[in-house]
Structures are given as C-alpha cells and as structure tokens.
Chains A and B, each alone.
Chain A
C-alpha cells in the first residue's frame, strides 16, 4: 500500500503493509510520528483519514474515546490501511535518513522464563536480528494467541543485542500476562516491535538520577542502572532508587539491585518500599545493601530524600497511575525539578 502522510512539516509517502499499524510502518520508514504508548491507551497518535480505506484494529481503545470518528479520525497505532491512503497528522514530523536505528518488527523466541514472585514473571527473548536501544525504552510484544500488542520496557541493557529481557506482572483478565503465566513459554515465538519511547537516561545525562517505580515499572530502571554501571556514571553522580511493592515477598530483582549498589561504591542508594506491611528491619534481611521502608513508594522517597536533593538531578518515574502522580508531585515540589528534567512514559 502507498501511504501518504500530510504533516505540519511536509508530506511523506512510503510503502506500508496492510497487516501492521500505520504508526509502526511510518516509524520503520524513519518518520518521527507522534506517539506515547503505541498500544491504544493514550491518544497521542491521532490522525485524520483524508482518502482511502483505513480500519481500526481495536475500535474501543481507551485512547480513541475522544476521536472525531465522523471526521475520519483514527489512532495510528490501531489503524491499518486496506488501500492506498492519505492521512493528516497534526504534528511536526521529520524523516531520518539513517534507518538502522529505526524501530521495526523482529521475530523473537522465548529463550528462558522464570517466575520471580507469586504474580511477576521474567522472560528472555532471542531476536531474529540485533536491536540497538536506549536504556529506559520499551517494545511492543505480540503473540498470535492473544489479540493486540502489549508494551513492556526492556530490563537489560546491551548495545546492539539479540537478547532482550522483560518483566511482567500478572493482571487478572489481562490477556497477555495471563497467557505468560498459563503457558510453557520456552521456545514460543513472538513478534516484537521496537525500540520505542523517549523516557531514557544515558551518559549524555550528566546528572544525579532519582528513580521511582512501582511493581514491574522497575524494568526501565534496571536497564538504566545497567547502562549507568557500564558507563561508570556513579563515579561522578549519585543515584537514588525507590522501588514500591506490597510486601517483602513481592520484592524482586533485589539481588541485582544489591549488586548495583556494591558496584557504585556508595553513590547509589536503593530503597524497597513495602506498602502493605511494616518492614521488620531497616534493611533487606538477605541483601543489607537494600534499604527497607513502609508505605507508598513516593512517600518513602519523600522521607529519604528530605534535604538531600542536589541541584542537578533527573527524575524517572514508572508504575501505576496513582503512584506516578504522587511521584511527579514529589519531584516537582520537593525536589524542585523543572518538568523537562522528569521522564516517564505517558501510557495513560
């Protein structure tokens, strides 16, 4: 199909496949199309169909609620072209000349999987071709057994790699997470599109790092810690990680976090915040490098950080919406971070 996108900054034409969302084919063609979640919830990738036949794969997507359907508006992450088509995209779009880092589809096979807690599973994928991504980015994963894609942040960080790791929390009724828990996973084939997302942190960010995560939101922070350790970021800067779970038994990646604390030689502090039980000791019983606190994670961060915010920090937030809201308020008001120094994936 010939797909023509009329944008605020010019007209772009490329050849796309009817089987994939226009957002994905456009990103693969090197176009900087607007998006946040890439999976139908946020509404950022709205466009208007001017000509041709375009179908929404998931018409009830939460991000589609405010669309003007009668005017032909669609979410590009859900829109598939059934014919040559013309869409108007209300954004400034640029065309990359080097497509080597552009997101694209790859085939992936599950190489290993292990359950970390009662409702959290970790799995490793082997890709058909290497992917270069930034720490903090995510990818959309699809299985033929479940309708639609799910977005997950990479847990690991290796430059240009065939191996990606993910962590998923089981959601009752959540099609893909239930599928992960119900199946013998090793050897299963998936499709994966990425890398995606701008909530990243790397050596270009010469700043202290304050990371606040709830549950599987820790994924991007694990990737960032790996990269920061590789680039010796904590020789010059400090890191403060606050990881919220319900109980001590719900904590995961604790050993990995403790290892990062060791490697940072005093420059990295990690706190596991338990929302549903009072911690029995000030540090983790097995890994004393990891602090324990009670209450919600942003409240634990507030207590721990009082009077300790430097004037050169970057904030990174990931987790369920109420936690994200609390953490953003903390970073804006207590840490006095300007909004451009806060990064998070706006999935809602």
Chain B
C-alpha cells in the first residue's frame, strides 16, 4: 500500500467532514480550514460515527456526544473531557486531491480495559 487518493479537496468544504471508502477501508476526511486530516470514521471514545457527531470549528474536531475534542493542526487533545488521542493517516494534498498513506486500516483498541487483567493496569495512568 502507499499514497492513495481519497477524494478531491473540493469534495470536502471547510469545517466539514466526509466519509469515503478507499480500498475497502472506510475513512473520514476532515477539512479544518488550514488543511485536511484523514482518520478512522469513529470517535475513539465510544465509537460514535464522527461524520454525524463530529463538529469542526476553530481547527478543532469535537465529538458532540461527550465533547471529546482534538486540535487538528497538532493532533493534541483539546477540551477537558478528552482521554484518548485521535489516530490519523498521513495526509498530503496534490493537484487539488487529498491523498492518505494507507498501509492497512487504523483501528482503535476499545479493549484497552483488557489491561485491567494484568499488571500494567496500574502503570497506564
């Protein structure tokens, strides 16, 4: 796998997100005004579909379900509720198209509670 065209930049207006399928993988393309991000289409909190629950404003993506938020310029966690980082594909814009570097589907570990059964539980704070 390599750089794959996910959509035309004009397909995703500023401050919106748009879900597309590429190579059998579903990704969310977000235009935050200063650039694009391509990511799994769900919130890392409770798997909320971000094309419905996501709001993009001031370069920040917020999931309206529980106000988890990330600064799309730096990918830092934003707001007071967010507990997990956002995972994204590397992205570039060329000739009016948005490309993502996709080597396989990025997935979130919703099983992070599985560390509850081992000794690393106490060190992951």
Q: Which residues of B contact A346 (CB under 8 A)?
A: 65-67
The 5 closest A-B pairs by CB, nearest first: A339-B79, A8-B125, A339-B69, A340-B80, A328-B64
- Which residues does B use to contact A, with CB under 8 Å? 15, 46, 53, 55, 57-58, 60, 62, 64-69, 78-81, 112-114, 116-117, 121-122, 124-125
Q: Which residues of A contact B79 (CB under 8 A)?
A: 338-340
User: What are 22 A-B contacts defined by CB distance under 8 Å?
Assistant: A6-B121, A9-B125, A43-B46, A46-B113, A68-B113, A71-B114, A71-B116, A71-B117, A88-B116, A90-B112, A325-B53, A328-B55, A328-B67, A332-B55, A333-B15, A333-B57, A339-B60, A339-B68, A339-B69, A340-B80, A346-B66, A346-B67
Interface residue A82 (Cβ < 8 Å from any Cβ of B): no
- A46 to B110 Cα, complex, angstroms: 13
Q: Which residues of A contact B46 (CB under 8 A)?
A: 43, 66
Q: Which residues of B contact A88 (CB under 8 A)?
A: 116, 121
B49: min CB distance to chain A, Å: 13
B108: min CB distance to chain A, Å: 13
Output the nearest chain A residue to B69 by Cβ-Cβ distance: A339
Interface size on A, residues (CB 8 A): 27
- Tell me the interface secondary structure of chain A in the complex: mixed
> 1/0 per residue A61-103: CB within 8 Å of B?
0000010100101000000000000001010100000000000
A303: min CB distance to chain B, Å: 19
- Tell me the residues in window 298-341 of chain A with beta carbons closer than 8 Å to chain B beta carbons: 324-325, 328-329, 332-333, 336, 338-340
Q: Which residues of B contact A207 (CB under 8 A)?
A: none
Interface residue A342 (Cβ < 8 Å from any Cβ of B): yes
Known: A340-B67, A346-B67. 17 other contacts (CB 8 A): A6-B122, A46-B113, A68-B113, A71-B116, A328-B55, A328-B64, A329-B55, A332-B57, A333-B15, A339-B67, A339-B68, A339-B69, A339-B79, A340-B79, A340-B81, A346-B65, A348-B65
A7: min CB distance to chain B, Å: 9
Q: Which residues of A contact B116 (CB under 8 A)?
A: 48, 71, 88, 90
B40: min CB distance to chain A, Å: 17
Q: Which residues of A contact B124 (CB under 8 A)?
A: 8
Q: Which residues of A contact B122 (CB under 8 A)?
A: 6, 8
Q: Which residues of B contact A36 (CB under 8 A)?
A: 66
Q: Which residues of A contact B64 (CB under 8 A)?
A: 324-325, 328-329, 332
A137: min CB distance to chain B, Å: 17
A98: min CB distance to chain B, Å: 23
Q: Which residues of B contact A71 (CB under 8 A)?
A: 114, 116-117
- A348 to B114 Cα, complex, angstroms: 24
- Which residues does A use to contact B, with CB under 8 Å? 6, 8-9, 36, 43, 46, 48, 66, 68, 71, 73, 88, 90, 92, 324-325, 328-329, 332-333, 336, 338-340, 342, 346, 348
Output the nearest chain B residue to A68 by Cβ-Cβ distance: B113
- A336 to B56 Cα, complex, angstroms: 10
- A88 to B125 Cα, complex, angstroms: 13
A344: min CB distance to chain B, Å: 8
- A321 to B23 Cα, complex, angstroms: 35
Q: Which residues of A contact B125 (CB under 8 A)?
A: 8-9, 92
- A66 to B110 Cα, complex, angstroms: 10
- A336 to B33 Cα, complex, angstroms: 15
B69: min CB distance to chain A, Å: 4
Which listed residue (A46, A68, A92, A336) contacts B57, Cβ 8 A? A336
Q: Which residues of A contact B58 (CB under 8 A)?
A: 336, 338
Q: Which residues of B contact A342 (CB under 8 A)?
A: 67
Q: Which residues of A contact B121 (CB under 8 A)?
A: 6, 8, 88, 90
- A36 to B45 Cα, complex, angstroms: 14
Which listed residue (A48, A324, A329, A339) contacts B113, Cβ 8 A? A48
- A329 to B54 Cα, complex, angstroms: 9
- A52 to B122 Cα, complex, angstroms: 20
Which listed residue (B53, B67, B81, B113) contacts A73, Cβ 8 A? B113
Q: Which residues of A contact B117 (CB under 8 A)?
A: 48, 71
- A160 to B34 Cα, complex, angstroms: 50
- A324 to B65 Cα, complex, angstroms: 9
B124: min CB distance to chain A, Å: 7
Which listed residue (A73, A325, A338, A348) contacts B60, Cβ 8 A? A338
A95: min CB distance to chain B, Å: 15
